[in-house]
Amino acid sequence: MTHLLEIRDLTCGYGRINVLHNISLAIGAHGNVGLFGPNGHGKTTLLRAVSGLVRPRSGSISFNGTELTTLSPKAIVELGVIHVSQGNRLFPDLTIGECLSLGAYTKAARQREAASREEVLSIFPKLKERWTQKVRTLSGGERQMVSIATALMSCPKMLILDEPTLGLSPKVKEELCAAVIRISGHGVPIICVEQDVEFLLELSQHLYLINHGEVGAEIKPGQTMDHSEIMSLYFGK
């Protein structure tokens, strides 16, 4: 099977500590991947290694056949790998319209800007109503929508989402999850870290539990799992 992204024997860390230990996982050409696991066990580090923000100590990351571990974050973005970081990283004084326009910064994305904007607003219709509103006046859920919408404006070939629903109320979370599913319907493959495994199962064909910087368990495409099985995976039997 050909993979869109293939991570092999990846080791990463900070200072003298290794956080990821020879981890290997793959994302298929037509599927999403979900990552879950306890806090502090290396999920964000793994995503940051893919987007070039953490330099691996060993191992390889291949995207569409291109080795990413030697490339700069800018070069990785130019390949279409777009990372929406955990937490709010938007400029507070920009309007929604300005954020989305910034997202379309590559030449190719700029040429498609009007069409992308229409597509993005069909995924997040709420942003249209608030087009001229500044980020600082938006709720947490709306900011998360702007972050993801801005990423989509760059016409990603793969979208990386790190806990997009963190801190949102159940109703807003439901709205955001539905939008992420809609993005996937537009044919953009997604790697998503989330604590809500049931949402991940809806979004992804393939799930990995990241535990102590290793793959602790895997839910493979076609494999079904009920709530109690997932909980025992997470917390141990």
Ligand X SMILES: Nc1ncnc2c1ncn2[C@@H]1O[C@H](COP(=O)(O)OP(=O)(O)OP(=O)(O)O)[C@@H](O)[C@H]1O
- Residue 67 neighbours by CB under 8 Å, 6+ apart: 60, 61
Q: Which of 4, 23, 27, 41 binds ligand X (CB under 6 A)?
A: 41
Cβ–Cβ < 8 Å for 181, 188: no
What residue 59 binds from Mg ion, ligand X, none (CB within 5 to 8 A, per partner kind)?
none
Closer CB to ligand X, 86 or 101, in the complex: 86
- # residues contacting Mg ion (CB under 5 A): 3
Helix axes 140-152, 96-103, angle to 10 degrees: 30
Cβ–Cβ < 8 Å for 50, 7: yes
Closer CB to ligand X, 57 or 186, in the complex: 57
DSSP code of residue 78? H
Interface with ligand X, residue 14, by CB under 6 A: yes
Least Å distance, CB 215 to Mg ion, is: 16
Closer CB to ligand X, 42 or 156, in the complex: 42
Q: Which of 20, 32, 44, 54 binds Mg ion (CB under 5 A)?
A: 44
Backbone φ, ψ for residue 88 (5° rounding): -90, 120
Site for ligand X in 16-35 (CB under 6 A): 19
Interface with ligand X, residue 43, by CB under 6 A: yes
Least Å distance, CB 193 to ligand X, is: 7
Closer CB to ligand X, 125 or 167, in the complex: 167
Interface with Mg ion, residue 51, by CB under 5 A: no
Token code pair at residue 119: 């597509």
Closer CB to Mg ion, 44 or 154, in the complex: 44
Element containing residue 161 per DSSP (H, E): strand 158-162
Q: Which of 44, 144, 165, 184 binds ligand X (CB under 6 A)?
A: 44
Element containing residue 3 per DSSP (H, E): strand 3-14
Burial 179-197 (b: 16+ CB within 10 A, else e): bbeebbeeebbbbbbbeeb
At residue 7, what is the residue type? Answer: I
- # residues contacting ligand X (CB under 6 A): 10
Query: Which stretches of the chain bind Mg ion, using CB under 5 A?
Result: 43-44, 86
Interacting residues toward ligand X by CB under 6 A? 14, 19, 39-45, 86
